[in-house]
Amino acid sequence: MPSNKKILISTYTYLPDIGGVAKNKSTLVDAFLQRGYEVIVVTSTRGDLSVVDDRYEIIRSPNIFKLIKLFFWADAVILSNLSVKLGWPVIFKKLYRAKLGLCHHSSSAFENKKNGFLKRFIGNKIIKESVHFVNSKYTIQDGGGFFKTLRAEVTYPIASRKEIPIEVASNFKNKKNAIFVGRLSKEKGPEFLVDNIDLIKKKLQIDKLYIVGDGELIDVLKSKASSEVIFLGAVPLSTVYNAMDESEYVFVPSIWNEPFGNVAVEGLTSGAIVISSNNGGLPEACGDNAKLFDFKVDGSFENALVCAKKMRDELLESDISREDYFKAIAKHLKQFQASEVTGVMINSLYN
């Protein structure tokens, strides 16, 4: 354990935002606090300034002098994606001691060469000076030659649970229906589910599909949806987890190449059968414990539904199969644990 334990987490999005990056960084903060680190978060996300967490400080939209001061305060600075707005103090790197880590939640850093001169200059400085923490093997692959001369480590997003909770496992037989959780946008695939609700109901033998989230497609989806599709809107995370815990199936029908896919991991920890597209980093998030489908292959989605229903039935019928399944989920989740992820970060930053 290094003696220097002051971590500045610089993230363009943070709580109360509900996106994957905001949640990931909140979980990372908790993980470092548990290790005994002093943490400050700096973010562009505005929020209710009266809402505070006594364990650490959140500084929102700092002025230039405050941001420089924070970089000098820290022993390590961990940046989220290539955010020049919050990372520009790197130009003073020779004057402060902080180690730099750049978390890749997407391919944003790969696009730095398209920026204007000043952003490109600062971005290149951040890229050169940082240890790179990448959210999946897929993202490294997606980078082409980007990481060839850089120090890069795969650090998966931290899972909120280490295993399927006992209370969820004991309620396995009482779970009902299916759920989608995510941004209601084209690339996330909710429209695909609404368009295929009859097939979903028939093959999974469910009554309802719950859709949790908000976004630009909400009006389109509501206009197309049948009465079996229930919209819950944007709700607190505790409500999301409860809804997933009560569901038989969790859908992750991403049309685009998801860099990772937190909701797939959360679906597994809820004891639901995850039905996911095979795009991007989703196969890494799911491991061998979900049913994947390929949008480009006719009948693939229907086959995934059939296999998911068969899997659910087998787990309901056999206590031994169910116990083995829970163990497999716990084994898969080990790579997403706080101690594993922060351990890789600490070793990479200080060694």
Q: Which pLDDT tens digits describe the chain residue by residue (351 residues)? A: 456 699 999 999 998 886 778 888 999 999 999 999 999 999 998 876 555 789 999 999 999 999 999 999 999 999 999 989 999 999 998 889 899 999 999 888 998 888 899 999 999 999 999 999 999 999 999 999 999 999 999 999 999 899 999 999 999 999 999 999 999 999 999 999 999 999 999 999 999 999 999 999 999 999 999 999 999 999 988 899 999 999 999 999 999 999 999 999 999 999 999 999 999 999 999 999 999 999 999 999 999 999 999 999 999 999 999 999 999 999 999 999 999 999 999 999 988
Q: Is pTM, for the whole model, over 0.85? A: yes
d(CA 342, CA 340): 6
Q: With CA atoms as reference, report the closest residue to 300 among 329, 277, 274, 318.
A: 277
Q: With CA atoms as reference, report the closest residue to 159 among 37, 32, 341, 18.
A: 341
Torsional sign, CA 203, 289, 244, 133: negative
Structural domains of the chain in order of their starting residue, each with its CATH number: 6-155 (3.40.50.2000), 166-335 (3.40.50.2000)
pLDDT for 50 equals 54
Strand partners of residue 210: 179, 230
